[in-house]
Structure 1
Amino acid sequence: MSGLWLPVMRKTHSGNGYSPFTLGRPTFPKIIHALQEPAFDIGPLIARAVSAESEEQDDHEGDDEADHDPLDDARDEPPAPLLGLDQGHPFPPPKQLDPLPPVTANPKPAAILKPAASPKPRPGPQRSSMKAEKVAKAAEKAQKVRTASHNRRRAKHARDLTTHGHLPSPATVSAIVRPAAPLRTELNASALPTAFGAYSGKLEDKVEKRGSKVRRSVADLIGLGFQLVKWDGITPRPLLDKNGRIIAVLAGRPNHAKYLESANFAFRTIRDAGAAENFPAAMRHHRRGLFAAMNVGLFYGKGQRFPCWLNNKGYTTLADGLLGDCHIQRLACFADAAFALWAPRLYRYYRDNDAGLRRHMSFRRPFVGSIFACAAFNFGPNVWTFKHRDVLNLAFGWCAVNALGEFDATTGGHLVLEDLKLVVEFPHGTLILLPSATVAHSNVPVQAGEERVSFTQFTPGGIFRFVDNGGQTVDELAERNPSEYDRIMARKAARWEEGLSLLSTLDELLPEE
């Protein structure tokens, strides 16, 4: 049979023979010799095996040939083994194959399976990521340091504010006071009406009260000889008497959005609080005007043995809510800072009185950041005051007045200073400091449809008298210490001029260059 490879015996150089069929099988040499005979023919063996397989397959085919799978039989009975030339030594049976899939009309190509990629080793932290992590940790540490430092500064500031109040630096004084354009008047402050001892203003007489409730416009006041002061509500302007003393200040407001936002919130809070209450007539009709008003804080008047917190009765919750409002607190603190800036000696006098009162009793002020002992809320919706003096305030002391609302400050809401013959534009969110016990003042009403409220701070003059008397009433002082009583009474005659001397001049405020 041509083309058939047959194993042959080979020899090495030493003469030894070898063949693959001689490895441990003694019968293989016989097969080799038989296959090497020239008369050997493998064809009949193959033909016989093919015929036997065909006959076996024909025995299993029937009428249901189309429904029968011939591979089922192959799975049950393996075919007879092929016999070799040497009967008794059959070839091992062929390995059975799985059936082929059926052929379709349009076979889809089998998906090419890509060998699974070996998992890459997890990379270690890259240099850039490690650097970014270090930078982030350093930034976090720096932020913690800044936060701790900020908290320490805030705590120190709170302690200093409680002990010393607002103390503007020379740079702040120079930056605010130097560019301020003063408004000089012909007022003689010494001639202002005051009670003996200057602890309070002088009550108005009938002549002064006559016509005080008349509603006047800006044009009416100009016709009566008043000077119109146009003011943007931001730039400070000190008002000087004829001796150059700063008798009052158009203090304005900080020129940034946060403060104006607080003024807006404070206005809505006071307006809405007033609108939600049903105030009695006694709180809506009084000597200062026809609007609901409420005083809150520490007060001392005739008949009291010592200063005490005002009893707001059914409006205590309302009062506490207003005092606790953060936006109103911001306005109160700015008033305190402006007071310390424009009248540092008078401000120190207030703080000394506060410390003296604490030696006799424990108390609280309406606002932690403000030296004033009492506050007044005028609810509106259209607050305009009659001509009046707040005579229970300290005669030479200052009152802080905040105007709040939605109105055109050029057409209404002006502050009228009767003794200075001025009518001043008073925009929303701004502050004016004035001696309300001795300088008569009023307001121009705002226009129809507009709203205006106000918020003021002051300290009753009686508290100063209580401290000067050693924490007791005048009668108690006279009974317990007659010599001290005589000294106090002798000093009262000069107290008014002493009080005016606490006011500053521009030359005193500006630091030397």
Structure 2
Amino acid sequence: MVLFARPRGTDWLCNAARVDAALENLYRLARIPLSYKPNRHGGYVTLPAGCGFGGGRTRPGSYANTAHNAPLVQEVLADAAVQRVANYVDAGLQAYFPKLHRFYHNLLAAILRDSPDIVQMFQGCCYGACHFNLHNASTIDHEDWYNILFGMCAVYSSGTYDYTRSGHFIAWSLGIVAQFPPACAVYVPSACVTHANTPIAGHETGSSAAFFMSAGLARWYYNGFMSDKEYRERATVEQMKAWNAD
């Protein structure tokens, strides 16, 4: 696990304030359906962006939002301050995990070539997707098993909370508890490490942008741009032996 410190200077603090405002505005304007239930990570509101494969899809595609929420999410993605955060987490991954960064970059490029209907979430960012976790996003213990097992999820913190008293990032299976200041990013192998973050006070706000790469995209690419089911139906005996061994 790596905590990537925020850049120094007032310029980055001003950028962070713009991101805080954009995510709080998304929280205020989003309409959550009556059928919405707390997700398995916690009881906060979360909205997806980017692309993935799995969950009943027949091929890779963009994550869906309601007709009301979709343009609001797109507005956040187009915000120059949020774009800068995406470049920031990309730079951190490249600095600490250059081979993984190259793998993500090449995988996403291949998926976009194969599925031209998918619009890249952020230019200059190797992650395929993110979740905007809004307003009071404290999570319970969980693993993100739909992400690539050996990958690193990047979580950018946002809000106005006292990070010395709340909002700590916990990697339970690593035995790590760390302060997680706003405008910083943490990298964690989220599919195999149980993690969470502590609640914030009622008068505070704490949002995050969690960047990830769907394991389904990697399987789709590895299978020659087809699902596991389709690959098994088409593969020869020799190909299946190699596939199972891998």
Secondary structure, in 3 states, of the residue corresponding to 2:224?
coil
Residue correspondence of structure 1 range 433-512 to structure 2 within 5 A: 433-482=187-236, 483-491=238-246
In structure 2, C-alpha distance between the alignment counterparts of 1:284 and 1:331, rounded to whole Å: 29
Q: Secondary structure at the match of 1:280?
A: coil
Residue 416 (str. 1) matches residue 170 (str. 2)? yes
- Residue 341 of structure 1 aligns to which amino acid in structure 2? A
SS in 1 for 2:133: strand
Q: Give the distance between the partners of 1:279 and 1:399, measured in 2 at CA.
A: 26
1:300 aligned partner: 53
The 8 Å contact of residues 156 and 185 in structure 2, kept in 1 or not, is answered as yes
Q: Which residue is equivalent to 2:83?
A: 329
Aligned pair in 2 of structure 1 residues 283, 390: CA closer, same or farther (>3 Å)?
A: farther
- Tell me the distance in 2 between the aligned counterparts of 1:284 and 1:332: 28
Compared CA separation, residues 252 and 294, structure 1 to 2 (3 A): same
What's the CA shift for 1:357?
2.4
Shift of 1:352: 2.5
Amino acid at match of 2:157: A
Structure 1 position 275, deviation (Å): 1.5
Q: Which residue of structure 2 aligns with residue 276 of structure 1? A: 29
Q: Which has the higher contact order (CA 8 A, sep 6+)?
A: 2
CA distance in 2, matches of 1:264, 1:355: 31
The answer (yes or no) to whether the contact 2:48–2:132 under 8 Å persists in 1 is yes
- Distance in 2 (CA, whole Å) between partners of 1:449 and 1:390 is 29
Structure 2: segments with no counterpart, 5+ residues: none
Distance 1:357 1:425 in 2: 36
CA distance in 1, matches of 2:164, 2:156: 17
- Residue 263 of structure 1 deviates from its aligned partner by 1.0
In 1, the alpha carbon distance for the partners of 2:207 and 2:215 equals: 25
* TM-score, normalised by the number of residues in structure 1: 0.46
Of 476-485 and 393-402, the range deviating more from structure 2: 476-485
1:369 & 1:353 partners in 2: Cα distance? 14
Matching residue of 1:392: 146
Q: Report whether the alignment pairs 1:401 with 2:155.
A: yes
Q: What do residues 154-208 of structure 1 show as CA deviations (whole Å, max 9, x unaligned)? A: xxxxxxxxxxxxxxxxxxxxxxxxxxxxxxxxxxxxxxxxxxxxxxxxxxxxxxx
For 2:214 and 2:35, the matched residues in 1 are separated by: 21
Mapped to 1, the partners of 2:106 and 2:66 lie a distance apart of: 31
Structure number with the higher strand fraction is 2
* Amino acid aligned to 1:368: Q
Out of 12, 17, 20, which is 1:259 matched to? 12
Question: Conserved in 1, the CA contact under 8 Å of 2:48 and 2:64?
Answer: no
Residue 284 of structure 1 and its aligned partner are, at CA, apart by 5.6
Check whether the contact 1:283–1:293 (CA below 8 A) recurs between aligned residues: no
Deviation at 1:432, TM superposition (A): 0.4
In the superposition, relative to structure 1, how do residues 485 and 319 fare at CA in structure 2: closer, same or farther (>3 Å)?
farther
Q: Which residue of 2 aligns with 1:289?
A: 42
**Mapped partners of 2:130, 2:202: distance in 1:** 28
Computing the radius of gyration over CA atoms, which structure comes out larger, 1 or 2?
1
Q: TM-score, normalised by structure 2?
A: 0.93
The answer on whether the counterparts of 1:402 and 1:454 sit within 8 Å (CA) in structure 2 is yes
CA contact (8 A) 1:373 1:460 kept: yes
Q: Is residue 384–residue 444 contact of structure 1 (8 Å, CA) maintained in 2?
A: yes
Q: What is the DSSP-based 3-state SS (H/G/I as helix, E as strand, rest coil) of the residue aligned with 2:114?
A: coil
| Identity, % of aligned positions | 28
Please state whether the residue corresponding to 2:88 is helix, strand or coil. Answer: helix
The DSSP-based 3-state class of the residue aligned with 1:313 is coil
Distance 1:282 1:265, change over 3 A: farther
Letter in 2 for 1:383: A
CA-to-partner distance for each residue in 1:204-231, whole Å, 9 max, x for gaps? xxxxxxxxxxxxxxxxxxxxxxxxxxxx
Residue deviations 1:45-82, cap 9 Å, x none? xxxxxxxxxxxxxxxxxxxxxxxxxxxxxxxxxxxxxx
> 1:370 aligned to 125, 138, 141, which one?
125
Mapped contact 1:365–1:371 kept (Cα < 8 A): no
Give the distance between the partners of 1:326 and 1:397, measured in 2 at CA.
Answer: 27
Question: How much does 1:358 deviate?
Answer: 4.1
Between the two proteins, the alignment pairs up a number of residues equal to: 243
> Which residue identity does 1:379 align to in structure 2?
L
Could you tell me how far 1:360 is from its partner in structure 2? 2.7
Aligned equivalents of 1:337 and 1:283: distance in 2?
35
Letter of the 2:71 partner, please give it: T
Aligned to 1:339: 93
Residue ranges of structure 1 left out of the alignment (5+ in a row): 1-247, 492-513
Asked whether the equivalents of residues 284 and 293 of structure 1 are also in contact (C-alpha less than 8 Å), the reply is no
Q: Is the 8 A contact 1:417 1:440 kept in 2?
A: yes
8 Å CA contact retained: 2:60, 2:115: no
1: CA distance, partners of 2:109 / 2:62: 17
Q: What displacement does 1:406 show?
A: 0.8
Alignment match, 2:137: 383
- Residue 156 of structure 2 aligns to a residue in which SS? strand
- The amino acid of 1:333's aligned partner reads N
Report the alpha carbon displacement of residue 466 of structure 1 after superposing the two structures with TM: 0.2
